[in-house]
Amino acid sequence: MTPRTLYQKIVDQHTVRPLGKDGQILLYIDRQVLNEYTSPQAFAALHAAQRGVWRASSSLAVVDHVNPTTPERNARTMVIADADRSRQVHTLAENCQRHGIALFDMLDDRQGIEHVVASEQGLVLPGMVIAAGDSHTTSHGAMGALGFGIGSSEIEHLLATQTLVYTVMKNMRVQVTGQLGAGLTAKDLVLALIRQIGADGATGYVIEYTGEAIAAMGVEGRLTLCNMSVEAAARGAIVAPDDTLFHYLQGRAFAPKGEHWDTAVTAWRQLHSDPEALFEREVTIDASAIAPMVTWGTSPDQGDAIGAAVPDPAHEADATRRRSMVRALDYMGLQPGQALEGLPISHAFIGSCTNSRLDDLRDAARVLRGRRVAQGVRAMVVPGSTSVRQQAEAEGIAQVFIEAGFEWRQAGCSMCVAMNDDHLNPGDRCASSTNRNFEGRQGAGARTHLMSPAMVAAAAVSGVLTDVRRLLPN
């Protein structure tokens, strides 16, 4: 048999039938996760065509994008002052009720960002294919699954048929040699990778991550890595399942139990690329050479090590890239040659599906312990899920954030996408653990610098972009 990559094996296991002779297939989808702003149009189309939902039990719905994250949500009220957002949340609830779909609403203790919730509940298992109306669905590759984002029309297709018309992608292997240094995280690795291959570097590919640094990385780090792979245009990113993953999954709410667990693990151990499998593209990156990363521009590939200076567009040979740089520096209010370290910030934000899990909060808390947020900086932390929030409170991490002067918020997407009330104002400069530094992403005219949660914490207490390694105990 022809050697196959893990991606090809997962696709083969989910192929209902080929469609024509040109590489497209009908792909069976194990699970979909629905949210309040991309699913209503899908349900409306389904209802207009008088079609039903193929397998309601394969769907989970979560409120995450538009809900408030204010402490008042503790008052156990579903009231959202904004009428439009309230309608989105209530429409989701109505659609779920009509079709018998499980919903973690705003007040559910399992509520949170869909990509955080799905893995922590054990809803995503190795070998699965997951699609959802959110681009960061690539996160689930950390679970040894294929995950990818889709639009609302595809959600409709998936709800009605449990399948998607799918174009098979090419294979890219990213081999991460060496180990990340102290104070370095998966976020630094993925920002370095995106810088290396570009924001469109993985167009048409699914990435498989391998190598020493990946083997040593925890599942939450792998979730960060696979999550942000979409910022290099990958249509999926996978880490082969291993004992680290099985240990993470065992005992989670929806993970298999008892003898089913053993059967499953035996099957999951077969999920790896064959040694001779062909990857159309190979990329190598040395983890030990990476320094803490920050972005200076408005595309995730416009980043550099914290010790670097803002680049000079005049030195860029490619005209399109040069224009992008000029525009980005203008938007970001930066000058060529300016040092990144020492750049004053007005805001610090820890949250998002990229970096809002317990390990992320622990990393940040390690920096914050015994320190205070610098004067003039507004700092907030938005846990990825209510469950993360509760665990952080039980561990005493919440107290560290609060004592340092961070706002300790309720779970949601919050100021990563700024679709609720959490947003920046024009000219605000934010050290952010999120995934997109796009123009206007955190609010019209707002300036976002992407970095790891530990780097955000370092910037928050210093008031300026700072190399976190200076603040860590030796």
Partner 1 sequence: MEAFHSLTGIAAALPQAHVDTDQIMPKQFLRGIDRQGLSQGFLFDMRFEAPGKPRPDFVLNRAPWQQAALLITGPNFGCGSSREHAVWGLRELGLRCVIGSSFGGIFSDNCARNGVPAIVLPSQDVDRLLALATDPERCVMTVDLQAQTITTPGDGKVLSFEFDPLRKHMLLNGLDAVGLTLQYADDIRRFEQGYLKQRPWLAV
Residue 55 binds to partner 1 (criterion: CB under 8 A): yes
Residue 425 binds to partner 1 (criterion: CB under 8 A): no
Residue 151 binds to partner 1 (criterion: CB under 8 A): yes
Q: Smaller CB distance to partner 1: residue 25 or 174? A: 25
What does the block give as tokens for 224? 């960060």
Q: Smaller CB distance to partner 1: residue 128 or 306? A: 128
Q: What are phi and psi of 170, to 5 degrees?
A: -90, 165
Are the CB atoms for 382 and 422 separated by under 8 Å? Answer: yes
How many CB atoms are closer than 10 A to CB 52?
10
- For partner 1, which stretch binds (CB under 8 A), given 2-10, 163-171, 184-192, 377-385? 163-171
CB of 45 to partner 1, least distance (A): 8
Residue 218 binds to partner 1 (criterion: CB under 8 A): no
- For partner 1, which stretch binds (CB under 8 A), given 25-33, 336-344, 364-372, 456-464? 25-33
Query: Which residues does residue 344 pair with via DSSP β-bridges, in sequence order?
Result: 464
- For partner 1, which stretch binds (CB under 8 A), given 3-11, 34-42, 239-247, 286-294? 34-42
d(CA 114, CA 315): 42
Q: Smaller CB distance to partner 1: residue 272 or 327? A: 327
* Given 72, 251, 289, 323, the residue binding partner 1 (CB under 8 A): 323
Residue 49 binds to partner 1 (criterion: CB under 8 A): yes
* Given 157, 357, 366, 389, the residue binding partner 1 (CB under 8 A): 157
Q: Smaller CB distance to partner 1: residue 41 or 196? A: 41
The sign one gets for the Cα dihedral 96, 152, 44, 48 is negative
Residue 299 binds to partner 1 (criterion: CB under 8 A): yes
How many CB atoms are closer than 10 A to CB 270?
11
* Given 121, 163, 171, 452, the residue binding partner 1 (CB under 8 A): 163
Residue 256 binds to partner 1 (criterion: CB under 8 A): yes
Residue 419 binds to partner 1 (criterion: CB under 8 A): yes
* Given 321, 371, 378, 469, the residue binding partner 1 (CB under 8 A): 321
Does residue 139 sit in helix, strand or coil? Answer: helix
Residues 194-213 that bind partner 1 (CB under 8 A): 199-200, 203-204
| CA-based nearest residue to 130, from 243, 56, 32 | 32
Q: Smaller CB distance to partner 1: residue 160 or 402? A: 160
Q: Spell out, one character per residue from 82 to 101, where the chain touches partner 1: x when CB under 8 A holds, - when not.
A: --xx-xx--x----------
Total residues interacting with partner 1, rule: CB under 8 A:
72
Cα angle 456, 462, 463 (rounded to 5 degrees) comes to 85
The structure tokens 């805001």 sit at 347
Q: Smaller CB distance to partner 1: residue 71 or 251? A: 251
Residue 291 binds to partner 1 (criterion: CB under 8 A): no
Are the CB atoms for 112 and 62 separated by under 8 Å? Answer: yes
Residue 18 binds to partner 1 (criterion: CB under 8 A): no
d(CA 409, CA 433): 15
Query: Which residues does residue 132 pair with via DSSP β-bridges, in sequence order?
Result: 33, 149
* Given 195, 436, 447, 449, the residue binding partner 1 (CB under 8 A): 436
Residue 153 binds to partner 1 (criterion: CB under 8 A): yes
Residues 111-150 that bind partner 1 (CB under 8 A): 125, 133-135, 148-150
Beta strands 59-62 and 31-34, pairing class: parallel
Residue 405 binds to partner 1 (criterion: CB under 8 A): no
Cα angle 300, 303, 309 (rounded to 5 degrees) comes to 155
Provide CB contacts within 8 A for 442, sequence distance 6+: 349, 415, 416, 418, 423, 424, 428, 430, 432, 434, 448
Provide CB contacts within 8 A for 79, sequence distance 6+: 86
Beta strands 163-167 and 24-28, pairing class: antiparallel
What does the block give as tokens for 443? 């609010």
CB of 451 to partner 1, least distance (A): 19
What does the block give as tokens for 75? 């008052």
Residue 326 binds to partner 1 (criterion: CB under 8 A): no
Residue 70 binds to partner 1 (criterion: CB under 8 A): no
Are the CB atoms for 381 and 409 separated by under 8 Å? Answer: yes
- For partner 1, which stretch binds (CB under 8 A), given 50-58, 281-289, 373-381, 388-396? 50-58
| CA-based nearest residue to 123, from 382, 355, 385, 395 | 385
What does the block give as tokens for 375? 């004067």
* Given 156, 188, 360, 467, the residue binding partner 1 (CB under 8 A): 156
* Given 105, 114, 120, 154, the residue binding partner 1 (CB under 8 A): 154
Q: Smaller CB distance to partner 1: residue 238 or 264? A: 264
Provide CB contacts within 8 A for 8, sequence distance 6+: 168, 171, 277
* Given 69, 121, 139, 162, the residue binding partner 1 (CB under 8 A): 162
